Amino acid sequence: MTYVERVLKNLKKHNPNEPEFHQAATEILTTLEPVVEKHPEYEKAALLERFVEPERVIMFRVPWVDDKGKVQVNKGYRVQFNSAIGPYKGGLRFHPSVNLSIIKFLGLEQILKNSLTGLPIGGGKGGSDFDPKGKSDREVMAFCQSFMNELYRHIGADTDVPAGDIGVGGREIGYLFGQYKRIRDEHVGVLTGRGLSYGGSLVRTEATGYGLIYITEEALKARGDSFEGKTVVISGFGNVAIYACQKAQSLGAKVVAMYDSNGYIYDPNGIKLDIVKDIKEVKRGRIKEYAQRVEGSVYTEGCKGIWTIPCDIALPCATQNEIDAASAQTLVNNGCKYVGEGANMPSTLEAIEVFQKNGVVFLPAKAANAGGVATSALEMAQSSGRIFWTFEEVDAKLKGIMVNIYHNIDNAAKEYGYEGNYVMGANIAGFKKVADAMMAHGVV
């Protein structure tokens, strides 16, 4: 048994009932075989054992009162996974499916993603099984305040800087920040994705979606191609999906489908983004309304069917494991040539295999959606310097970072003899920097 196999076996044994964590760890560790082979000192230092064990896991009770006066209790999490290259950094997810396995998979991914940005940020993730959907603003505020009443003691601008993820957007960050500021009496960059009036950065809202398109554009360019005239399918109907759609359209692509967790819309004439934004961002409504408002578009209950729509480029931007092997095969059969992961771990291990075997250019999440956290790090830099960059300045830096990531993962894959395998490239390039820092720090 190799070193990697032993670490994986132990991880599964000692962290039972954490399937998403096992999946992310398997995807990462199996690609690191050639790196640990080249560096026998890693095994001596138990580097992989330390890499897969969070530095700290915080779990807490979040009690709050709903609009009917009833006391509700949710679970709160913050996994401070790895601070070798910078303060813990990563989003908070509020969704009923949240559990320790999901937060740990996200945290593990985040370590390498943040490393790939080239900026000094470590990996962390947190969240709650609270469901903001259908809650009043007051209920969301009550929940966020209670959540921060515990979280504040564990975070700080140089310690751990949370941000948004599924179910956590500008509104939630505002309430969380307000409560942190009240408790600590500090107006600092302790959260990113803040509003522009209180220290946020331009482009952070758009960053993950834009970044996804910038890196995909670079992959297209390397093959003498572009977004112009391409048919694109995007899953999700949230922050990442909306701004991926906007940027893809601005580059001449036709986005024909999107979904939320109830169903998908197909618009052969191209998605009307102003209508999408009105439904989602203004009214907090459901995607179903799109078909009622736009002639020629169709709404279908259920999500999976979206992957049967023929496209050149598929951009999963909703959640983990939304593309399985069968959906991947359907995409391939229908001529899909590029997959860029806007969501975290949207493709199962089997789906990735289908894409790679069939020559699809597959850009894995930790590279493809790194634009969000990269821009969070730019927000931290602006907060520390007490300065604001213009939209054009931040956007240019984001684009530069994404283009860089593409070439780094491309070169790392080539260096190890796996040209075009960006899962290998991203894991290896991201891991090397973290491993270097961990070795330099000694046994900690």
Under a CB-based contact definition with an 8 Å cutoff, are residues 245 and 273 in contact? yes
Contacting residue, 91, 200, 238, 342, with ligand 2IT by CB under 6 A: 91
Min separation Cβ 114 and ligand NDP, Å: 11
**Judged by CB, which is closer to ligand 2IT: 113, or 194?**
113
- Which residue is associated with the tokens 């190890």? 416
Give the separation between CA 99 and CA 107, rounded to whole angstroms: 12
Answer yes or no whether residue 373 interacts with ligand 2IT by CB under 6 A. Answer: yes
Min separation Cβ 104 and ligand NDP, Å: 14
Min separation Cβ 320 and ligand 2IT, Å: 11
Which three-class secondary structure state does DSSP give residue 331?
helix
Under a CB-based contact definition with an 8 Å cutoff, are residues 207 and 232 in contact? no
Site for ligand NDP in 221-240 (CB under 6 A): 236-240
Helix axes 370-385, 100-116, angle to 10 degrees: 70
Min separation Cβ 236 and ligand NDP, Å: 4
Answer yes or no whether residue 238 interacts with ligand 2IT by CB under 6 A. Answer: no
- Which residue is associated with the tokens 């482009």? 203
Answer yes or no whether residue 90 interacts with ligand 2IT by CB under 6 A. Answer: yes
Q: How many C-beta neighbours within 10 Å does residue 285 have? A: 14
Judged by beta carbon distances under 5 to 8 A according to partner kind, the member of ligand 2IT, ligand NDP, none in contact with residue 379 is none
Q: What are the φ/ψ torsions at residue 77 (nearest 5 degrees)?
A: -135, 145
Give the residue at shortest CB distance from ligand NDP.
238
Q: Tell me the window of 55-63, 158-166, 385-393, 435-443 that interacts with ligand NDP (CB under 6 A).
A: 158-166
Under a CB-based contact definition with an 8 Å cutoff, are residues 53 and 136 in contact? no
Q: Tell me the window of 51-59, 79-87, 165-173, 384-392 that interacts with ligand NDP (CB under 6 A).
A: 165-173
Annotate 137-158 with b (16+ C-beta within 10 A) or e (fewer).
Answer: eebbbbbbbbbbbebbebbbee
Min separation Cβ 416 and ligand NDP, Å: 26
**Judged by CB, which is closer to ligand 2IT: 8, or 378?**
378
SS (H, E, C) 136-176: CHHHHHHHHHHHHHHHHHHCECCCEEEECECCECHHHHHHH
Judged by beta carbon distances under 5 to 8 A according to partner kind, the member of ligand NDP, ligand 2IT, none in contact with residue 167 is ligand NDP
Answer yes or no whether residue 128 interacts with ligand NDP by CB under 6 A. Answer: no
From the candidates 104, 113, 125, 230, which is the catalytic residue? Answer: 125
CA distances from 410 to 18, 367, 405 (A): 31, 11, 8
Site for ligand NDP in 335-354 (CB under 6 A): 342-344
Q: Tell me the window of 18-26, 87-95, 179-187, 409-417 that interacts with ligand 2IT (CB under 6 A).
A: 87-95
Answer yes or no whether residue 172 interacts with ligand NDP by CB under 6 A. Answer: no
Give the separation between CA 47 and CA 62, rounded to whole angstroms: 35
- Which residue is associated with the tokens 């590029």? 338
Is 125 labeled as catalytic in the residue annotation? yes
Show the site string, 296-325: x = touches ligand NDP by CB under 6 A, - = not. Answer: -------x-------------xxx------
Min separation Cβ 251 and ligand 2IT, Å: 23
Helix axes 422-441, 100-116, angle to 10 degrees: 90
> By CB under 6 A, how many residues form the interface with ligand 2IT?
11
Give the separation between CA 189 and CA 383, rounded to whole angstroms: 6
Q: Tell me the window of 71-79, 84-92, 262-270, 285-293 that interacts with ligand 2IT (CB under 6 A).
A: 84-92
Instruction: Tell whether the torsion through CA atoms of 36, 37, 41 and 44 is positive or negative.
Output: positive
Judged by beta carbon distances under 5 to 8 A according to partner kind, the member of ligand NDP, ligand 2IT, none in contact with residue 89 is ligand 2IT
Helix axes 239-250, 204-222, angle to 10 degrees: 50
Q: Which residues are catalytic?
A: 125
Site residues, ligand NDP (CB under 6 A): 164-167, 169, 208, 236-241, 260-262, 303, 317-319, 342-344, 369, 372
Positions that interact with ligand 2IT (CB under 6 A):
89-91, 113, 163, 165, 192, 344, 372-373, 376
